[in-house]
Amino acid sequence: MSEDARTLEGRTIMVIEDDFLVALALSMVLQHAGASVVGPVATAQEAVALLEQDNRHIDAAILDVDLNGEKSYPVADALTLRHITFVFATGYGAEALDFPYRQCPRLQKPLDHQALFKALMAS
- CA 32 from centre of chain: 16
- CA 12 from centre of chain: 11
26 assigned to some structural domain: yes
Residue 4: predicted pLDDT: 59
Task: Using DSSP bridges, classify how beta strands 66-67 and 70-71 pair: parallel, antiparallel or unpaired.
Answer: antiparallel
Task: Count how many domains the chain has.
Answer: 1
Pick the more confident residue, 28 or 122: 28
51 assigned to some structural domain: yes
107 assigned to some structural domain: yes
- Express each pLDDT in 92-114 by its tens digit: 887 888 988 988 999 999 999 99
6 assigned to some structural domain: no
- Express each pLDDT in 15-74 by its tens digit: 999 999 999 999 999 999 999 999 999 999 999 999 999 888 999 999 999 999 999 999
What H or E segment, with its residue span, contains residue 109?
none
Domain of 23, CATH number, reads: 3.40.50.2300
Assess whether pLDDT exceeds 70 at residue 1: no
1 assigned to some structural domain: no
What is the extent of the structural domain holding 59?
12-120
Cβ atoms 38, 12 nearer than 8 A? yes
pLDDT band for position 11 (50/70/90)?
Answer: very high
7 assigned to some structural domain: no
